[in-house]
Chains A and B, each alone.
Chain A
């Protein structure tokens, strides 16, 4: 069944590629419909836990390569949600690509990517997982940079870090396999065996965990791998950015939930001697700190960036940070909160990116200070973005709030004061950049060149409206998502949180989301009653503004000039400048690349040196050989 779906995906990809350049709309509609079919099939797979399909590829020596697909609760959950979000994005893509220049390969690669997406979530052994992981990496690389020169540099950030992670995972996989006590490629059994091994050989287990964590962190852009999303999201096709941010960046988190978190939970159960902090293994605690650092760092970088897609991308980074921190708390609430936040983030961040895509679709601008005042021109887009950022900031009654609440429950009930502070700092900071984006793009003065901007076509609005509805829906009744999450959490060996459709019960307090939502609505009516008092307000032109008595036209004041958006948070930047100058991870990476290049150039120049006999190389080589032979 699963392999059939994957096979169909490949066939669909080829069909999409075969469709000519003229049939853009057909191609994208076809892929959206196809994915709808896949989503339907996936829905049918619900409940068939434990089903495994095996396809032998070959065996050579002592290794047997085979593809194993199975349905786990966690995997199904991820597969289903990502597919639905992908359908949303593809509906958006239909119009977007009909009106803009489209590369034929994008759709082909994207369908492959969607297939590998499913394969990642359905793989039950490491080889399959790694294969799907690799396919995902290279297809997404070429979607991000389908022959556009400026996107290439951006994609490289993504690609190099991802490949680095992938290779780390490769070593990890084979290290697992090579360890005599484990010697399995099955994910589930490797967790159990590793947990047992941690009693006798904690060092090996630690290194294996580190290798996998490197890989997952690199994919999910956790510190110190945080630079790639900003680059890649910003330069990717506008309809791919939602996918990148909503789905792709979650693979690392899926890996963590699939392997690292259950492993830690197992280790806690099996191995009583492990070093603990606040009731969780010290490694887990350290990793949680990585998440917290990511959250704060992502927030700061989002605050100081001027490119709207970069801002949203850094926001993604920081949200990933919350989820990572929460997951590594290892409590039921922590894992649930992390997982729930992943879903919520997927929903609201794709909504945000879709609305940004819509803005770019109409204005072709990405720098925020060149935009402004679009809210009146594009109300649906504005509303999507507004609700998106409300959700992202974790403000009730939208969905982001529900997951943040659980995260705080987990952090506070687990007694992690400093982690909580970091997360709170990031969360408050989120407010800064989100508002900045809202203001710079949608509020303030409308530049004259955008006077004729219209709302995007209806087909493009559909996914945005769907996004709004799902944000409101999940915010009102988080139980609809939390219940399947509860199943997945239970499968990890934790007691799931008590939830009903609109009620979440935590250790420190409980919350009824329906009541919170209706409180807001009630308060709004209360305020509205005040609004009705007195004379009706009248409208004025945007430029009829307090300008200290000066006539704007006489003064040469244009809407563009009167829109305060550039260097919005310069003071914040000033506060952090001393730290930023010293500690810029990006500069380290750049230096690394520079050094690699010059190292390569030096080596290749070495080949040209010193005559036909190449004494330089020769002598070097002899020295190496002698040393190696002597010492090893």
Chain B
């Protein structure tokens, strides 16, 4: 139980760090990094939900039939999906960062000015 509290706490701390970063960082790359931290936090959180101490894979075999020891597989599926989506998002963001840098020659979001007409 202590461990899961630890994980929850870690997840929330990481999430807050990420949130702080997203809100305050003006550098495009740093923003992306903090977002990734956030995603990690959420993933950690999800995994923790399904975590059971000394748990086993949720497969009924002849030896293991204790349902309470089963680790919930669904959160893990969720996390997998989430990781995949996160990867896609990060890739997209990075490609946008490249484009932004090409256009504005800077990575500071606030310094990206001009070309506002049409």
Contact = CB atoms under 8 A, between A and B. Distances in A.
10 contacts: A609-B110, A611-B23, A611-B31, A611-B109, A611-B110, A612-B28, A612-B109, A613-B22, A614-B23, A615-B23
Contacts of B109: 611-612
B31 A610 contact: no
A610 B22 contact: no
Interface string B85-116: 00000000000000000000000011000000
A609 B109 CA distance: 10
A533 interface: no
Q: Give 8 nearest A-B pairs by CB, closest first.
A: A615-B23, A613-B22, A611-B26, A613-B23, A611-B109, A612-B109, A612-B31, A615-B24
B25 interface: yes
A480 B78 CA distance: 86
Nearest to B110: A611
A618 interface: yes
A609 B25 CA distance: 12
A619 interface: yes
Contacts of A611: 23-26, 31, 109-110
Contacts of B110: 609-611
A557 B97 CA distance: 76
Interface string B1-33: 000000000000000000000111110100100
Residue of B23, B25, B26, B109 with highest tally of chain A CB at under 10 A = B23
A615 B25 CA distance: 9
Nearest to B32: A612
Nearest to A618: B23
Nearest to B21: A613
Secondary structure type dominating chain B contacts: helix
Given A610-B24, A613-B25, 9 more contacts: A609-B110, A610-B110, A611-B25, A611-B26, A611-B110, A612-B28, A612-B109, A613-B31, A615-B23
A611 B109 CA distance: 5
Interface in A72-89: none
A230 B22 CA distance: 54
A611 B25 CA distance: 6
A612 B34 CA distance: 12
Contacts of B22: 612-613
Nearest to A614: B23
A32 to B, nearest CB: 47
A618 B24 CA distance: 11
A23 B10 CA distance: 80
A17 to B, nearest CB: 33
Nearest to A609: B110
A342 B110 CA distance: 61
Contacts of A613: 22-25, 31
Interface in A594-632: 609-615, 618-619
A615 B20 CA distance: 9
Contacts of B28: 612
Contacts of A610: 23-24, 26, 110
A611 to B, nearest CB: 4
A619 B24 CA distance: 11
A615 B26 CA distance: 10
B89 to A, nearest CB: 13
A607 to B, nearest CB: 13
B64 to A, nearest CB: 46
Interface in B12-69: 22-26, 28, 31
Residue of A609, A612, A619 with highest tally of chain B CB at under 10 A = A612
A618 B109 CA distance: 17
Contacts of A619: 23
A24 to B, nearest CB: 39
A609 B31 CA distance: 15
A625 to B, nearest CB: 15
A17 B109 CA distance: 52
Nearest to B28: A612
B115 to A, nearest CB: 14
Residue of A609, A613, A619 with highest tally of chain B CB at under 10 A = A613
Contacts of B31: 611-613
Contacts of B25: 611, 613
B47 to A, nearest CB: 26
B38 to A, nearest CB: 11
A614 B23 CA distance: 6
Contacts of B24: 610-611, 613, 615
B22 to A, nearest CB: 4
Nearest to A608: B110
A60 B91 CA distance: 48
A131 B101 CA distance: 54
Nearest to B23: A615
A610 B24 CA distance: 7
Nearest to A619: B23
Contacts of B26: 610-612
A611 B35 CA distance: 13
A610 to B, nearest CB: 7
Nearest to B100: A612
Contacts of A612: 22, 26, 28, 31, 109
A611 B31 CA distance: 9
A614 B28 CA distance: 12
A162 B43 CA distance: 56
A631 to B, nearest CB: 24
Contacts of B23: 610-611, 613-615, 618-619
B97 to A, nearest CB: 10
A425 B61 CA distance: 104
B101 to A, nearest CB: 14
A612 B24 CA distance: 9
B118 to A, nearest CB: 18
A247 B22 CA distance: 60
A383 to B, nearest CB: 58
A618 B21 CA distance: 13
Contacts of A615: 23-24
A608 to B, nearest CB: 8
A601 to B, nearest CB: 15
A515 to B, nearest CB: 75
B81 to A, nearest CB: 24
A295 to B, nearest CB: 51
A462 B22 CA distance: 75
